Chain A
Amino acid sequence: MRVIARLDVKGDSLIKGVRFEGLRRLGNPAEVARRYASFVDELFFVDTVASLYGRPQVAELLESVASEIFVPLTVGGGITTILEAERMFKLGADKVAINTAGFGAPELFHEIAKNFGLQSVVGSIQANKTESGWECLTEQGRERTHVSVNDRVRELLEIGIGEIIVTSVDRDGTRNGFDLELLEQVLQFSNVPVVIGGGCGSLEHLETLRPYETLSGVALASSLHYELIDQDQIRRWRNCEDRRL
């Protein structure tokens, strides 16, 4: 299973919030990225303010890390056009994750896939638990869509994407553990690789993912930033996982 370090970025700072709110500044994202790259499989940069202001600020960061970090880099947040996606790829991104701009705009996914391959398109889902199930949010959890996660997964698969990353908004930053029911729902429908994120706060939480043989990856933020899980534990956990396969 892939371990993906998720780095939320605002301006030139690495930040982390709880349920996508109350953001705390945690340092220089390039330095942190360099450190994580020695023990995680991939890095996922999220520009948390780009879709608000319509300009991806993560570009500079990407350019500086791509020349010295040699693991796959995914960029999300505020990518609304094929030109912006192309700019990210030129700066060294391997994949772009799209949520907000992808609602009602399947052609954005198609265009990126046509030019950069299907593997470069990540469908990002921000899932919020409600009484009737899970609803997709956009704009970094700020906007409701009234679209259920199940419907969105089906839609994304129909459009054609390389993988799905689903983040539980109501667990994000809480350290209460993964939303395994949400994960099960998504895994049940998806025939592309699925990455789960949101809520991990300990090695025990990571262990709860073990039974999900078809799960492709896990996205970690708080557990890495606050050193709730250390790099040796991650290496050991991942090696164990791989041997089982």
Chain B
Amino acid sequence: MRKVSIVDYGIGNIRSVLNAYSYLGYNVSLLDKPAEIRHAEYLVLPGVGNFGAVVERLQRKEFFDPIASYVSDSKPFLGICVGMQVLFEDSSESPGVSGFGFFKGSLSHFLELSPRTISPSIGNFDLNWSADTGQTLERAYFVHNYFVSDYSDSELLATYEWNGFSVPAAFRLGGVVGVQFHPEKSGTQGLHFLDSLAKR
């Protein structure tokens, strides 16, 4: 079994992600030294809150560059929620702030999609996986205000329907996977999903 390292950069709640991998029996630890990034076997970047705040915190704690070089080598990586969002180039949430730019594209607010919308989008939604992914996760828990509005089709793995719109839910390029949903909050199925990714 791979060793799982969760980037601990002092933002949001990483406890549930840690709990999920422990429950699955992984040797999981919090990674708080940037120099250890390049030695990670499987790196997980959780994140909640603001795009700019996450980028700023990663930079201030000197995690940004090591993570950028880790993902550019396409090593095994999972970004969750804002941890996925920062893999893109930018977000209208934080104009002028650059993310990793590993995935091509950017994020917009749901209000930019439809001004009368109720946001954030919260709850369990059915996932539509692209044909060849082999994924069995049917439903997952989402909570977000910003969504990937511009992306490269070849990197898109899954979408979900929200108020009649098809919203991107997961992306992949090489060993790097990003999910907008919270597999660690999606019940037993979500745990299986984490396991299937880390095992690959």
Known interface pairs A37-B187, A41-B123, A119-B120; 8 further A-B residue pairs with C-beta atoms within 8 A, sorted by A's residue number? A1-B123, A70-B184, A70-B186, A116-B13, A192-B120, A193-B118, A216-B118, A242-B125
Within B66-111, the residues touching A (CB, 8 Å) are 82
Closest 7 CB pairs of A and B: A117-B49, A117-B48, A2-B123, A119-B143, A89-B13, A67-B19, A92-B15
Dominant SS at the B interface?
mixed
- Expressed in whole angstroms, the minimum distance between the Cβ of A94 and any Cβ of chain B is 6
Which residues of the partner chain B approach A191 to less than 8 Å between Cβ atoms? 118-119
> Interface residue count for B (Cβ, 8 Å)?
35
Which residue of A38, A90, A193, A245 contacts B187 across the interface (Cβ within 8 Å)?
Answer: A38
Which residue of the partner chain B has the closest CB to A113? B49
- Known A-B contacts A66-B15, A66-B16, A68-B23; the reply to A117 vs B50 at CB < 8 A is yes
Task: Show the binding face of B for A, using Cβ within 8 Å.
Answer: 11-13, 15-16, 19-20, 22-23, 48-50, 82, 118-120, 122-126, 141, 143-145, 161, 163, 182, 184-188, 190-191
Q: Evaluate contact between B12 and A116: CB separation under 8 angstroms.
A: yes
User: Which residue of chain B is the closest to A117 with respect to CB atoms?
Assistant: B49
Query: Taking CB as reference atom, which chain A residue is nearest B164?
Result: A245
CA separation between A89 and B17, bound complex, in Å?
12
Whether the Cβ atoms of B163 and A245 lie closer than 8 Å is yes
Contacts of A90 in B (CB 8 A): 13, 15
Cross-chain contact A94 with B123 (CB below 8 angstroms) = no
Task: Write out the residue numbers on chain B whose beta carbons fall within 8 Å of the beta carbon of A61.
Answer: none
Whether the Cβ atoms of A118 and B188 lie closer than 8 Å is: no
Judged by a CB distance under 8 angstroms, whether A48 is at the interface is: no
Residue in chain A with minimal CB distance to B121: A193
